[in-house]
Amino acid sequence: MFIDKTGMNDRLNGKTVLITGAAKRMGRQIALSLAGEGMNVVIHYRSSGDEAAELKERLASLGVKSWTVQEDFKSETNLSKFIQGVKQEVGDLNCLVNNASIFPSGDLEDIEFNDLLTNLKVNLWAPLSLSRSFVNNFEGGKIVNLLDTRVAGYDWDHAGYYFSKVLLTRMTKMTALKYAPDFTVNGVAPGLITPPPGSGNEYLEERVDRVPLGRYGRKSDVADAVTFLLQSTFITGQILYVDGGRKLLHEQGG
Ligand SMILES: NC(=O)c1ccc[n+]([C@@H]2O[C@H](COP(=O)([O-])OP(=O)(O)OC[C@H]3O[C@@H](n4cnc5c(N)ncnc54)[C@H](OP(=O)(O)O)[C@@H]3O)[C@@H](O)[C@H]2O)c1
């Protein structure tokens, strides 16, 4: 007999998702796409309170419920209280999207222990801590972690970030096994999508020759992958590369 032990089926309508770093950029697009499927959204933000409030209004116009929650993952290490707070306010939470991230520059020569620690705290420890609390507080659900196509190769210019995302990739697979059968855990690894904060579109144009499909992707390409993984009832522990084929070049050492 078919029983989906996550307590969900392929319909996201009426379910609730917590998205970290949801106020802007990719997180915002994921929120809009999931709201388009009828999901209620808990918008986590760190410093972008105005953008979070604007997104809340936009989601209301789409007919779904939403809440805004603030937390700095750099300073707070016990995120179980954060999840318990969300539970109190929202009730049932069905999905978690670990999207928030930092992307500081730093090569192997420059990087200091504290830089590494900060990357690990925000990009690895927060997703792990949130996943653990999510699993401990709810009976079933689905998790998607935002990774990076760079994990298939190297990133010499963002060493701390790179290490944190490589570990997050392993963590995605380990938690998928650990939390089955009640929870699924998958990863989405974007490639060239948006320029880093502070850079313009020339950042993307200068790099399209490294993408087999010859262009950069859209935020909606990434959001579609997240939506697909949250809808799936039989995929866990997988990494979906949304990178125009960039991983293939990493694999052949390019
Ligand atoms: N953009 C791309 O092309 C690309 C490529 C590969 C992988 N990715 C991955 O996809 C995800 C989304 O990318 P993005 O470019 O949209 O990310 P981003 O803009 O760099 O960061 C997303 C959000 O993370 C939040 N954040 C940063 N530091 C935090 C902290 N200490 N505590 C809590 N939240 C914090 C910020 O929230 P506030 O604004 O509220 O401070 C920020 O808006 C990330 O995981 C990234 O690594 C993106």
Question: Average per-residue pLDDT in the chain?
Answer: 96
Q: Is residue 140 packed enough to be buried (19+ CB in 10 Å), middle (13-18) or exposed (0-12)?
A: middle
Is there a contact between 152 and 247 (Cβ–Cβ < 8 Å)?
yes
Write the CB contacts of 159 (distance below 8 Å, at least 6 apart in sequence): 106, 107, 108, 111
Q: Looking at the domain assignment, is residue 110 inside a domain?
A: yes
What three-state secondary structure class fits 215? coil
- Residue whose CA is at the smallest distance from ligand 1 atom 43: 21
How is 41-96 classified by DSSP, letter by letter? Answer: EEEEESS-HHHHHHHHHHHHHTT--EEEEE--TTT---HHHHHHHHHHHHS---EE
Give the pLDDT score at 8.
86
Q: Looking at the domain assignment, is residue 206 inside a domain?
A: no
- E strand map for the chain: 16-19, 40-45, 66-70, 95-98, 141-146, 183-190, 239-242
Q: Looking at the domain assignment, is residue 208 inside a domain?
A: no
Q: Looking at the domain assignment, is residue 251 inside a domain?
A: no
What percent of the chain has a predicted confidence (pLDDT) above 70? Answer: 99
Candidate from 19, 29, 46 with most ligand 1 atoms within 8 A of CB, to mutate: 46
- Residue whose CA is at the smallest distance from ligand 1 atom 16: 26
The first and second tokens of residue 235, run together, are 């995929």
Tens-place pLDDT, residues 114-171: 999 999 999 999 999 999 999 999 999 999 999 999 999 999 999 999 999 999 999 9
Q: Looking at the domain assignment, is residue 133 inside a domain?
A: yes
The first and second tokens of residue 147, run together, are 């990774």
Distance CA 30, CA 7 (A): 22
pTM over 0.95: yes
Q: How many domains does the chain have?
A: 1
Q: Looking at the domain assignment, is residue 252 inside a domain?
A: no
Q: What's the CATH number where 227 sits?
A: 3.40.50.720
Distance CA 84, CA 89 (A): 9
**Does the pLDDT of residue 197 top 90, yes or no?**
no
Is there a contact between 143 and 134 (Cβ–Cβ < 8 Å)?
yes
Write the CB contacts of 59 (distance below 8 Å, at least 6 apart in sequence): 31, 32, 35, 41, 43, 65, 66
**Structural domain for 122, as ranges:** 16-196+218-243
CB of 148 closer than 6 A to ligand 1?
A: yes
What percent of the chain has a predicted confidence (pLDDT) above 90? Answer: 92
Please name which of 216, 162, 151 lies closest in space to residue 188, comparing C-alpha atoms. Answer: 151
Candidate from 101, 147, 219 with most ligand 1 atoms within 8 A of CB, to mutate: 101
> What's the mean pLDDT in 42-71?
98
Q: Looking at the domain assignment, is residue 185 inside a domain?
A: yes
CB of 83 closer than 6 A to ligand 1?
A: no
Tens-place pLDDT, residues 60-109: 999 999 999 999 999 977 899 999 999 999 999 999 999 999 999 999 99
Q: Looking at the domain assignment, is residue 222 inside a domain?
A: yes
Exposure string of 44-78, with b = 16+ CB inside 10 Å and e = fewer, is bbbebeebbeebbeebeeeebebbbbebebeeeee
What three-state secondary structure class fits 211? coil
Tens-place pLDDT, residues 207-219: 999 999 999 999 9
